[in-house]
Structure 1
Amino acid sequence: MDDRAARRRITTQRPFANAYIEAPGFIDVRFYGDLLLLKWFSDNNVAYDCYQDTDLHNPAWLSQYKVLVLATHPEYWTPQMRDAVENYLAGGDRVTYTGGNGMYERVDHLAQAGPHVLQRGRQPVAVARSGPAGVVGARRGVRQLLLHGHASVRGGRRAPVLEGTGLAVGDEFGKTGYNFAASGWEVDTRAGAGAEAPGVVQFAHGVQHRGAEMCVLPKPNGGWVFSAGSLCFNGALAHDPRMSRILLNAMNAAVS
């Protein structure tokens, strides 16, 4: 039985109708966070091209880039989109994931649906739970969290993305941001990523319950994923230079 007509239709156009204005007048970070990321690119002389998420259905264009950046809230994904990213990583390329609650809801994309996707169900889906980024969505978290820096990883080596930040074990950073602190609203953690994400290294986490987990996940042939794990990450880049340096380190490493 074809139940497509009964499924929820989700627009892929931005801005969307429920981009709320939050006190004291800030625009919903789910929309404005992407603009803050693009501003950060410009401020830090990072060259970039923009694509829509659904462009991953015809991923030939990916081969010209060393790094794919996923922005603030890439929640709704088709299996074809996920496969394109997995194949990209398997070839030794890199993904920088600067958002939260990514690849959480499985959808179908139909040409006749126009700028919409059709949601498959109301439960988190297996395609997202396989953990291509090493983390999975933990849904809505507590706002106003901080990140807790871990300056060393396995073998006592310092995490490369923390170089130049001045952060030591136990330091807190990302306390303020455009809407909220760096870890909050909707966040990702390693819980549920399971055995399909071996070798994932967490080097920072939100200090409150269910806070974001900032991780690096190695992939075959030199590929890897940097995952900020929080929908509010991009909103904190201009408020804490250590946050900005972490992302700059990840971007420089990705293209090296």
Structure 2
Amino acid sequence: MVAGGDWKPSLELKIESEWRSGVYALRIHDGTDEDWVPFYVRPAAGVRRSKVLFLAPTNTYIAYGNEHRSYIEGEFSMKTGRVQLQDADKYVEAHPEVGLSLYDEHEDGAGVAYVSRLRPLLNFRPFHFNWLTDSYRNFAGDFYLLDWLEHHGIDYDVLTDEDLHVEGLTALKPYNVVITGSHPEYVSERMMDALQEYVDGGGKLMYLGANGFYWATSFHPDFPHVLEVRRGHSGARNYTSLPGEIVHAFTGEQGSLWRHRGRSSHRLTGIGSGAMGWAKAAPYKPSPQAKAAEHAWIFEGVMDDLIGTEGMMLGGAAGDEIDHTDYLDGYGTPPETTVLGTTVGLTNHYQAFIEDLTYVFPGEQGGSENPLVRADMTWLATNGGGAVFSVGSMCWIGCLPINGYKNAVSRVTLNVLNRFIKDR
């Protein structure tokens, strides 16, 4: 299988065993132009692991790689301001040879179901500004979190989605706490199993994003750099699968949303995808339960009535794609889940995900009208001693650097992380 350009090597970079685990980039330039090609360094074999693991949502980065939806330059109804493209966006429009994303269609109108990381992915770059948020997003956006970890001197390791799929629970066992990126949208069954077993067995998970654990994703059994996704007939999707084309060719499993396979993210994290929009992000208002003795430590040192009024991504803590609890419709928010805070002030630029709707009536689906259009911050403890802290927003991590890292979002996140580091 040729799943990239099938190029011959022109450069080799040796990774030494003493290199710290983390995210790196190879800078290449010809005197005029330059590029930064990212790569990940795992912990070396036999080396003592950190207590903290950042699980890089590389499936999401690959799924969005070279997306062509950016041709809508100009006005967009769910965004305030105009869509402005980066040079990389314009390049992929002009150069079909770099390939498509899972958000594109082939020339015959069929949706793209396969993508590979073995090709240039020009929006999988540390300096790429996203056309939706006018800020860093996905790969570049997750550096807000990594920068915050570095600022606080928190030692951490990095593994990728592919690592987790290949190794399963074994990859997570050495760590006291696993931290997600802002958008862990594409996960395989083996990844879901590993994370659930980790939490059920006493592990601690910080879900610092939203729209996570959403699409059922398959890795090719022999070429794990190749992903397959089938969109199905529902969900926030860019195309609808044709009849008979929901089953994955790689594995024979049912495609579409995880919730349609009875494994909604609500069961793992307490929350699930609920709405999206790209106007001003909203803050959270702490709930009465947040003041209870068993949760008050999370908000220690926080004096603000609203959490996340400023941020680097859409100007606040809750925006872009957002998650909420769902106890009533059978999607599985465990009853012991505690809502610590809920957003206030989302506008009608934010709209509910289609899978939550049975009928659509005008004037009822926006952020000021529909109670489903909200983000919930939650706490979920398991019988095995595990716990999950979830924030329900892709914009949460964009608040971490505000005011020299001294803000309510930063303090809450640090309170939880420090407790999780000590707890296991």
Give the TM-score taking structure 1 as reference length.
Answer: 0.86
Alignment partner of 1:228 is 2:391: yes
Aligned to 1:211: 374
* Cα distance between partner residues in 1 of 2:291 and 2:312: 36
Task: Name the Cα RMSD after superposition.
Answer: 2.7
Q: Equivalent of 2:173, from 45, 59, 63?
A: 63
**Alpha carbons of structure 1 residues 11 and 141: separation in structure 2 relative to 1, 3 Å:** farther
What is the rounded CA distance, in whole Å, between the counterparts of 1:21 and 1:154 in structure 2? 35
Give deviations 1:199-250, integer Å, cap 9, x for gaps.
1111112212323111111112211100011111111111161110010011
In the superposition, relative to structure 1, how do residues 243 and 155 fare at CA in structure 2: closer, same or farther (>3 Å)?
closer
Q: For 1:214 and 1:16, how far apart are their aligned partners in 2? A: 33
Q: Cα distance 1:172–1:130, how it changes in 2: closer, same or farther (>3 A)?
A: closer
> Where do 5+ consecutive residues of structure 1 fail to align?
none
Residue aligning to 1:29? 137
Q: 1:125 to 1:13 in 2, by over 3 A?
A: farther
Larger deviation, residues 127-136 vs 47-56: 127-136
In 2, the alpha carbon distance for the partners of 1:214 and 1:193 equals 20
Which residue in 2 is equivalent to 1:47? 155
Instruction: Calculate percent identity across the aligned residue pairs.
Output: 27
Moved more, 32-41 or 203-212: 203-212
Q: Which residue of 2 aligns with 1:125?
A: 258
Could you say which residue in structure 1 is the equivalent of 2:336?
Answer: 199
Output the CA distance in 2 between the equivalents of 1:131 and 1:15.
36
Larger radius of gyration between Structure 1 and Structure 2: 2
- Show the counterpart of 1:186: 321
TM alignment of 1:141-152, pairs within 5 A: 141=277, 143-150=279-286, 152=288
User: Which amino acid in 2 is paired with 1:51?
Assistant: L
Contact 1:142–1:211 under 8 Å retained in 2: no
Letter in structure 2 aligned against 1:242: A
Q: When the two structures are aligned, how many residues end up with a matched partner?
A: 248
How far has the Cα of 1:116 moved from its partner? Answer: 2.9
| C-alpha distance 137-173 of structure 1, shift in aligned 2 (>3 A) | same
Contact 1:144 / 1:175 at 8 angstroms: preserved in 2?
no
After superposition, the C-alpha distances for 1:55-88 in whole angstroms (9 at most, x for unaligned) are 1221313111011111111000111100000110
2:218 aligned residue? 108
Change beyond 3 A, Cα 1:6–1:238? closer
**C-alpha displacement of 1:41:** 0.4
Flag structure 2 segments of 5+ consecutive residues without an equivalent: 1-109, 235-256, 347-366, 368-372
Q: Does 1:253 align with 2:422?
A: no
Q: Give the letter aligned to residue 286 of structure 2.
A: H
